[in-house]
Amino acid sequence: ELPSFLVPVLLIYQSGSLDNLGSKLLLFLFCGHYFHRTLIYGCFTRGSAVEISFVLKGFIFCTWNGYLQGHNLIYCTKYDKSWITDFRFLFGLVLFCLGMTFNIHSDHLLRKLRKPGEVTYKIPTGGLFEYVSAPNYFAEIVEWFGYSIATWTFPAFAFAIFSAVCLGTRALHHHRFYVEKFQEYPKSRKVLIPFLF
């Protein structure tokens, strides 16, 4: 996911600067998510090996999306000074921050499930895990819809929809896995959206 952080930063460097505060704040949100995802979350995660094709596809997507979001906010979208007080910006910002907070918290709970060296699966508990099987995915979807509302641009909405479809599919697979693996898995726990799905 590093290109999603580096590509916009390189675009900012190449452009010299961003024209207005709205674009700066919005690009900061996007880059902030991927800075955390790549350089902070990545340092704490004990992952397993994955296929190189998966890594390459992710790298290509993150490069393209980083370019699209960065280029759009730097060169294509102009916000007037009132944008940072617009309801869409403020509502989107709140959604983004809530989503990122729950995303980080859910990832933290997942990391705490296993002690170093353990490889067995356990049922996650606490936080939004009491309501859904994949709160980290739900929170990330909330983040990107918040970002899309705050930017009010087509590339951001397209990315939010793509994220919802991709992460929603993964959440469904996670939920099925938990239900099949653990007979005691909570029956009231939904797949992705608390109380609904």
User: What band does 17 get if pLDDT is binned at 50, 70 and 90?
Assistant: low
Q: Is pLDDT of 74 > 80?
A: yes
Q: Is pLDDT of 109 > 70?
A: yes
Q: What is the DSSP letter of 104?
A: H
pLDDT at 111: 85
pLDDT at 39: 85
Alpha-carbon dihedral 94, 156, 5, 9, rounded to 10 degrees: -100
Burial class (CB in 10 A: 0-12, 13-18, 19+), 65: buried
Give the separation between CA 75 and CA 148, rounded to whole angstroms. Answer: 17
Q: How many CA atoms lie within 13 A of 136 on its CB side?
A: 15
Percent of the chain with pLDDT over 90: 63
Question: pTM value?
Answer: 0.90
pLDDT at 54: 84
- The 10s digit of each residue's pLDDT in 51-62 is 888 889 989 999
pLDDT at 48: 67
Which H or E element spans position 125?
none
- Give the type of residue at 135: P
Q: What is the DSSP letter of 81?
A: G
Q: Is pLDDT of 127 > 70?
A: yes
What's the helix, strand, coil split of the chain in %, to 5?
75, 0, 25
- The 10s digit of each residue's pLDDT in 176-196 is 999 999 999 999 999 999 988
- Report which of residues 86 and 112 the model is more confident about: 86
- Give the type of residue at 79: Y
